[in-house]
A and B are shown apart, each in its own frame.
Chain A
Amino acid sequence: MIGIPEIFFYIFCALIFGSSLLVVFSYNLLRSAFALFFVLFGIAGFYVLLGGDFLAVIQIMVYAGGINILLIFGTMMTGSISQPETSNPSFQGILTLIGGGGLLLILLIILNHTTWPSQSLIDHGPTTKQIGQLLLRNYILPFEVISFLLVAAMVGAIVLINKGERS
């Protein structure tokens, strides 16, 4: 008997799979960018099914609402987005096909033959508190150090743009 979670799992799977195909094969770059939104949205659905409510919402907020929007913006600014030769599904040659297909095959075979040490979901309680405690206790060092990375990225981006504007 298929339970409700399984039904939703397959719905999200279909959403992710369909939209990713669109991302890859759409002849219009902008449509790819929009389709990516639904991929990211579907992944948030997976998080919900795994009991990670906080993570799901953050996924939507950061990836679907932030990064993907910027991506769409960037795509809108680029020229000739709807021409197949400069756009998405350009055929990169037989070697790439073999490489990509080979990787897919290897992953499929290996992941299928692996028995993962699985744990059942213990409870579906709120995760926000635990995440907060982990971040500020066990993972405090990466959590703080990553802010240096963000500062560096921000400063670097501003410097590059400033330089471009001046010249």
Chain B
Amino acid sequence: MEAFAVSLGVHIYLVKAIIMFIIAALSVTFMAVISGLTTWFERRIAGRMQSRIGPNRVGPQGLLQFVADAVKLFMKEDLIPKGADRLLFKMSPYLCMIGVFAPFVVLPWGMGIIAADLNVGVLYLISITALVVVGTLMAGWGSNNKWSLLGGMRSAAQIVSYEIPVAMGLLPSILFAGSLSMIGLMNAQGWAPWQWSAFQNPFTMIAFLIFFTGSLAEGNRVPFDLPEAESELVSGFNTEYSGFRFAVYFLAEWANLYVIGALTTAVFLGGGNLPEALQPYWYLSIFLFLLKTFFIMFVIIWLRWTLPRFRIDQLMDLSWKYLLPLSFIAFFGQAVYMLIDHQFPVIDMVTGPIMFLIFLLVLLKFFYRVAINFREQNKTVNTRA
């Protein structure tokens, strides 16, 4: 396509710029729609979990609720509180938005389908969250509101603390793949669950759990949603925002959810890898990737409506006293494992399936418990009736 455009006499840079814009526009549009849909998704799930219905009026099953919400938000008056630092107040949403959308440069969509396969893709993805931190701090300070300030500071403290376990949790996978690029990380895994890096060996499993927990905290999700704890801080750093600016935060939050899901999928859960026979159908890999991502998003939402919130000291303890040392152990263990694996490649064949088997057993046990719970619940409900 590039070559074709150049042959028509268009300047090469112009062509590149246009292609960039198209890709960026596609990503942003996808993101806006996805985050909108996710809000609906989450509200419906929340409804189910709390034995109510959730939004079901606008569109089929309430699917268009987010459009209505967006329109409502645009109509609202854009307020800037008295005494606010106007520059910082206005700048903050942009930074948060950029910080959440910048990862889409390196987020893959399937096998080999990616906007730009940077050599240091994963690192770029982790480090670019700095923009979000600065954005939340700006919002917290600029709002001239103590709840906002507390929320912003909590958020920044939390993200800075959990950035370390998250990065350390990624390291075993990076060691395993021997690459920092997202495509490299995905290619190192296979289609089958025992080829995924999460189930490679005990250490990658630990790393996966650490990474997932840390990501929840970095994304300000329950059980780590202290920055926007409604019962304490009204709404956290975005208390004073209204109208379009608030919509931006809203969007950024859900986009962040997708980013966490996609990163987990790509690095730990095999990405969009397809079995040999299905390789030619590349669109299947996009489908698979999105499916896994949505599953992870579902798990995060599920956690939100299940677990209570941590206290701030517990939060910090968890990060510095447990996750960080554990991630060091995982990193060191993975290095040792790779040394041994280098000499006895048989181990590699065994540990993957065993780990997956253990995972399946845990899952079975879980379903079993759930089944029992359901039965008991029905009984009690029936007897009461």
Evaluate whether A69 and B156 lie within 8 angstroms (CB atoms) in the complex, with A60-B130, A64-B130, A76-B141 already known. Answer: yes
Would you call B119 and A61 a contact (CB within 8 A)? no
Q: Which of B219-277 contact A (CB under 8 A)?
A: none
| Contact with B127, one of A31, A34, A57, A68 (Cβ below 8 angstroms) | A57
Taking A37-B134, A53-B119, A54-B120 as contacts, is the C-beta distance between A65 and B127 under 8 angstroms? yes
Residue interface mask A50-70, B partner, CB < 8 A = 1:
000110011011001110111
What chain A residues lie within 8 Å of B124 (beta carbons)? 57
Docked-complex contact B130 and A31, CB < 8 angstroms:
no
Q: How far is the CB of A69 from chain B (nearest CB, A)?
A: 5
**When the two chains form their complex, are residues B133 and A61 in contact, meaning their CB atoms are under 8 A apart?**
no
Set of chain B residues within 8 Å of A95, measured between Cβ atoms:
none
Asked whether B85 lies within 8 Å of A28 as measured between CB atoms, the reply is yes
Would you call B126 and A69 a contact (CB within 8 A)? no
Could you tell me the distance between the alpha carbons of A53 and B85 in the complex, rounded to whole angstroms?
Answer: 35
User: For chain B residues 71-107, which have a beta carbon within 8 Å of chain A?
Assistant: 85, 87-88
Is residue B168 contacting chain A, with contact meaning CB distance below 8 A? no
**B180, CB-defined interface residue at 8 Å:** yes
Give Cα A115 to B167, complex, Å: 42
Interface SS of chain A:
helix
Please judge, given known A-B contacts A31-B88, A76-B153, whether A128 and B133 are in contact too, CB under 8 Å: no
Whether B134 pairs with A72 at a CB distance below 8 angstroms is yes
**What residues of chain A lie closer than 8 Å to B126, measured between beta carbons?**
61
Q: Which B170-184 residues sit within 8 Å CB-CB of chain A? A: 180
Whose C-beta in chain A lies nearest to the C-beta of B138? A34
Q: Which of A122-154 contact B (CB under 8 A)?
A: 126-128
The residue on A at minimum CB distance from B140 is A76
Say yes or no for B329: interface residue by CB 8 A criterion.
Answer: no
A17 interfacial by beta-carbon distance below 8 Å: no
> B13 in the interface, Cβ–Cβ < 8 Å?
yes
A66–B163 Cα distance when bound, in Å, is 9
Is B134 touching A69 in the complex (CB atoms < 8 A)?
yes
Residue of B85, B120, B129, B157 touching A128 (CB-CB under 8 A) = B120
What is the CA–CA distance of A27 and B336 in the complex, to the nearest angstrom? 54
Minimum CB–CB distance from B169 to chain A (whole Å) comes to 15
- Which residues in window 58-89 of A have CB below 8 A to B? 58, 60-61, 64-66, 68-70, 72-73, 76
- Indicate if the CB atoms of A69 and B160 lie closer than 8 Å: yes
Interface residue ranges of A34-48 to B (CB < 8 Å): 34, 37
Nearest CB of B to A66, in Å:
7
- Does B128 touch A at the CB level, under 8 Å? yes
Instruction: Give B89 Cβ to nearest chain A Cβ, in Å.
Output: 12
| B-chain residues with CB within 8 Å of residue A4 when the two chains form the complex | 13
B residues in contact with A54, CB < 8 Å: 119-120, 123, 180
- Chain A residues contacting B130 (CB-CB under 8 Å) are 37, 60-61, 64-65, 68-69
Q: Which residues of A contact B129 (CB under 8 A)?
A: 65
Tell me the complex Cα distance, A127–B123, Å: 13
Q: Determine if A23 is an interface residue (Cβ-Cβ < 8 Å).
A: no
A124 to B161, CA, bound (A): 33
- Taking the closest CB of chain B, its distance from the CB of A38, in whole angstroms, is 9
B127 neighbours in A (Cβ, 8 Å):
57-58, 60-61, 64-65
Are A65 and B123 CB-contacts (below 8 A) given A34-B134, A73-B156?
Answer: no
**Cβ A60 vs Cβ B128 within 8 A:** yes
Q: Which of A73-126 contact B (CB under 8 A)?
A: 73, 76, 126
On B, residues with C-beta under 8 Å from A are 13, 85, 87-88, 118-120, 123-124, 126-130, 133-134, 137-138, 141, 149, 153, 156-157, 160, 163, 167, 180
Give 4 A-B pairs besides A69-B133, A73-B153 with Cβ atoms closer than 8 angstroms: A34-B137, A61-B130, A73-B156, A128-B119
Which residues from chain A sit less than 8 Å from chain B, CB to CB?
Answer: 4, 28, 30-31, 34, 37, 53-54, 57-58, 60-61, 64-66, 68-70, 72-73, 76, 126-128
Give me 30 A-to-B residue pairs in the complex whose CB atoms sit less than 8 angstroms apart, sorted by A's number.
A30-B85, A31-B87, A31-B88, A53-B118, A54-B119, A54-B120, A54-B180, A57-B120, A57-B123, A57-B124, A58-B127, A60-B127, A60-B128, A61-B123, A61-B127, A64-B127, A64-B130, A65-B127, A65-B133, A65-B163, A66-B160, A68-B130, A68-B134, A69-B133, A69-B134, A69-B160, A73-B137, A73-B156, A126-B120, A128-B120
